[in-house]
Amino acid sequence: MARHDVLIVGGGNAGISLAARLRRLGARDVAVVSPDRPHLFRPTLNYVAGGQATMSELTRSAASVVPRGCTWVDDRAVAVHTHERELELAGGARVGYRDLVLAPGLEEDLDAVTGLAEAMEAGWARSAHVHTQASAVWEAVDGMSRGRVVFTLPPEPSPCGGTALKPLFLAADLWQQRGVLTHIDVHLVTPYADVLGLPFVDHRLRAQLQRLGVTVHHGARVTAVDHGARTVTLGGATETTVLDQVDHAFVVPPYRGPGWLGPLSADDGTGQVDVDPGTMAHKDVAGVWSLGDVAALGTRPSGGALRRQVEVLADNIRRSRLGEPLRAYDGYTIIPVTVDRRRLLLAEFDRNGSQAPTTSLVDLAVPRRALWLFDRYLEPQIYFRALLRGRLVP
Ligand SMILES: Cc1cc2nc3c(=O)[nH]c(=O)nc-3n(C[C@H](O)[C@H](O)[C@H](O)COP(=O)(O)OP(=O)(O)OC[C@H]3O[C@@H](n4cnc5c(N)ncnc54)[C@H](O)[C@@H]3O)c2cc1C
């Protein structure tokens, strides 16, 4: 049986960035367990849904992103045997570890919304968050000149769920430019009392939604969809609303941590790994760590959050071996939102939802063309050329 010094589960943003960072810091035996599926720079999916990017721009082979010097185990983890310090793989083999890092991301929980799986299968419900459907969102948007559409923000935890506003604003701006927006009844369903539950950007987003004539359903989530009847049912704190005659339901699925994590998950119903939100060490099991979307870090998951998580976790694995005090991740995370087809604002915030700006030179929470250019064109380059290669980018 193979045994590795550091074994990482998941070849996404978290797993690959951490593996590369550990190698850069001198770790000699790092292995990544991940099935041979294309590696996606997922933020660009929203631009695919908005007709501003193509799938080929964001897709790389799994083999091409595994950092040089790391072992790639092309398989899927199915169980962790913490006493033996072994990971069980779908193929039946086991791999031993000294430190194990869990980074398999979140799983779509289609069954949590009645009828969603069938409606997606039928192509009536679709979401940029489901990578196979991003192009279909654009086809629906591009082909629309009248009718009713529903966009949703998912409940947390979700992979940067707030960015689901991007396809809405990109579509509405396009419809306005084409002079058809007045014929399209646009609805937004949000689980928050305001748009994102982030006061320092909500006033701007609210004004933009009002300007575009979008009806916002606050404190609500989609409980059922029926592609036959073309209805979307919303559950709120006190009431149920049924939207009928819906032409397209752009519904982001709810998410949860993978079931195979078993007792390593928190008992809060999210299925996320039960780690200390600061140190990212498992609360009960020594030698087990987690980062990325699957980790219960008390903040909204995002790729931007990973920059700090990777730095702190790579350092903490080293510190734990030297018996030094561990560092703490501060909960920093981001949500970039395009407010139209040329401008974007960046919400940077902490665990409490308070603004946590990385620069005092310019207020990034104000929509700017330069930010859209950065997010659309520069960010993917930084991701593939620096972050996935273990370089720290502030
Ligand atoms: C549409 C969309 C837009 C987004 N926009 C932004 C944005 O603008 N800004 C931002 O900061 N973030 C954004 N995000 C969020 C960002 O993409 C995620 O936070 C980030 O990808 C999380 O990385 P991860 O490695 O934790 O999980 P993932 O990216 O989900 O990667 C998990 C990896 O683990 C592998 N895996 C799964 N199960 C197993 C298993 N059992 N065994 C082995 N491997 C397994 C998977 O194949 C995958 O490679 C967006 C996400 C989406 C979906």
CA atoms of 48 and 57, how far apart (whole Å): 9
Which residue lies with its CA nearest to atom 48 of ligand 1? 12
The whole-number pLDDT of residue 392 equals 79
The CATH label, of 3.50.50.60, 3.30.70.100, 3.40.50.180, 3.30.540.10, for the domain at 3-106+257-330 is 3.50.50.60
CATH of the domain spanning 108-254? 3.50.50.60
Q: Band the pLDDT of 238: cuts 50, 70, 90.
A: confident
Q: What is the pLDDT of residues 34-91, one digit of tens each?
A: 999 999 999 999 999 999 999 999 999 999 999 999 999 999 999 999 999 999 999 9
Long-range pairs, 193-197, Cβ under 8 A, ≥24? 193/218, 193/219, 194/218, 195/165, 196/153, 196/162, 196/165, 196/335, 196/337, 196/347, 197/353
Q: What is the pLDDT of residue 54?
A: 98
pLDDT (0 to 100) of residue 219 = 96
Lowest mean pLDDT among 34-38, 40-44, 94-98, 390-394: 390-394
Tell whether the model's pLDDT for residue 237 goes beyond 90. no
Tell me whether domains 3-106+257-330 and 108-254 share a fold.
yes
Count Cβ atoms below 10 Å from residue 193 Cβ, excluding itself.
10
Cβ burial, residue 133 (10 Å; 0-12/13-18/19+): buried
| Structural domain boundaries in the chain | 3-106+257-330, 108-254
- Mean pLDDT lowest among 103-112, 149-158, 163-172, 385-394: 385-394
pLDDT at 21 over 80: yes
* Alpha helices, DSSP H, located in 25-121: 44-49, 55-58, 62-65, 116-121
Query: For residue range 352-370, what is the model confidence (pLDDT) as tens digits?
Result: 999 999 999 999 999 999 9
pLDDT score, position 393: 75
In our burial notation (b when 16+ CB lie closer than 10 A, e otherwise), range 302-339 reads: bbbbbbbbbbbbbebbeebeeeeebeebebbbbbbbbb
Q: What is the mean pLDDT of residues 239-262?
A: 97
For residue 362, report the distance from its CA to the centre of ligand 1, in Å: 29
The CA distance from 46 to 171, in Å, is 11
Is the pLDDT at 118 greater than 80? The verdict is yes
Residue type present at position 364: L
Q: Average the pLDDT over 308-336 and give the result.
A: 98
Residues with CB under 6 A from ligand 1: 9-15, 33-35, 37, 42-43, 45-46, 76-77, 103-105, 128-129, 159-160, 163, 258, 292-294, 301-304, 334, 336
Give me ligand 1 centre to Cα 254, in Å.
14
CA angle 341, 351, 278 (to 5 degrees): 125
